[in-house]
Structure 1
Amino acid sequence: MRSDYANSKPRRQQRGNLKKPQPPKRPPLLLFLMVLVVVAGFGYFLWTLKNGSPAPVTQEPVKVVIPEKTSPKKDPNALPPKPKEEWTYQQELENKQVEVDLPEKSNQPTRPYQMQCGSFRKESQAQEMKAVIAFQGLEAQVRKIDGNSGVWYKVVLGPYQSKRKAETDRHELQRAGLNGCMIWFWES
């Protein structure tokens, strides 16, 4: 049995509700009584705490004993007396002589540094990079090198006496967008 809901006629709506209205539900009486008993018990508990039985009052006079001059008892929580400071290293150092061995300047290279920013087959490309470097306020040279693979035009900066100065210039070129500059020992 197939029913086609798209082509079916709408049903007539019934006017009015045929069901009888339900009377409103009452809360359960047993639950109400249990809550009332618990609240009353809690109230009684608080009342007994507040109005607890008073301590028995004694009518006997209180005897106060004032001890005669006796040595005071030490407090078990008291701190010990502050120790006397004794420093001896000042007197020891006044008469000492310190000897320091300075290493020879073996860490420092004997040759200065150079920075190479490019190597090109065409001299025009090398001159173009030299101009870009000049706009950054640095001076570069283009060197013609005859190698095993032909003629190369290298763009170099330097000589630098310290690697730190070469690094500073390299960072300046990196901020300008020229990446790939390498720092080498100077070769003439």
Structure 2
Amino acid sequence: MPQKDYVKAARPKTNAANRRPARSNAKAAAQAPAKPWLLLIVTFVLISGFVYFLWFLNQQPATTAPTVKPPAKTVKKDELPAKPTEEPYQYIKELENKEVKVDVTEQQQSSGPYQMQCGSFREQQQAETMKAQIAFAGFTSEVRRTDGERGVWYRVVLGPYESKRQATADRNRLRQQNINTCQIWNWS
């Protein structure tokens, strides 16, 4: 079934009297050849004018701007001092045969082992949860009960460590597992 053109069907039909008369083909054909000739003539005039302009520029004598000489300045030469015959500094020769003594003091080792506390809770269940998280990270910890002035606390503690460097290394591995609450204490 052919498609119906609804747009064309909705337009009102115009009367033959209201239509504008169409141009005659003879008149349109007579005007068409005049435009390309006019365009060719304008193009030719522009190109010839450009060529003449270039030729005119080539024929002009080159004019130079008058040169103004700056006032003459007296140039003073920097005279270098005479080269010394002997090296004025003797420290190179002196240091070759000299022995340097340095006092080395040994660093004091911190006293006592270190421990790392990862949490302090009021309820033992919370401390056991933290201990399990640390166990999943691969470390052994313990829950210590502490009776203080403010009541009972359950602390999750790792250690003891012989050096602070070992404790710091373990704390960094726990931080990689998103356990960021650990603090290192000197346990003495």
Write the deviation string for residues 106-146 of structure 1: whole angstroms up to 9, x where unpaired: 4x432333211111112222123222212322221211111
Residue in 1 that maps onto 2:74? none
Alignment of 1:65-144 (within 5 A): 92-106=94-108, 108-144=109-145
Q: CA separation in 1, counterparts of 2:21 and 2:180?
A: 85
Residues 16 and 171 of structure 1: is their aligned pair in 2 closer, same or farther, counting only changes over 3 Å?
farther
- Structure 2: any 5+ residue segments left out of the alignment? 1-9, 61-86
TM-score (norm 1): 0.56
Which secondary structure does the structure 1 equivalent of 2:107 belong to? coil
- Structure 1: any 5+ residue segments left out of the alignment? 1-7, 46-85
Amino acid at match of 1:35: F
1:170 and 2:185 correspond = no
Residue in 1 that maps onto 2:52? 37
Which secondary structure does the structure 1 equivalent of 2:118 belong to? strand
Q: CA deviation at 1:39?
A: 4.5
Q: CA separation in 2, counterparts of 1:15 and 1:170?
A: 97
Identity of aligned residues (%): 43
Residues 44 and 147 of structure 1: is their aligned pair in 2 closer, same or farther, counting only changes over 3 Å?
same
Residue in 1 that maps onto 2:71? none
Residue in 2 that maps onto 1:78? none
Which secondary structure does the structure 2 equivalent of 1:133 belong to? helix
The total of aligned residue pairs comes to 142
Q: RMSD of aligned C-alpha atoms? A: 3.9
Which secondary structure does the structure 2 equivalent of 1:155 belong to? strand
Write the deviation string for residues 55-100 of structure 1: whole angstroms up to 9, x where unpaired: xxxxxxxxxxxxxxxxxxxxxxxxxxxxxxx9x8776445322222
Residues 39 and 102 of structure 1: is their aligned pair in 2 closer, same or farther, counting only changes over 3 Å?
same
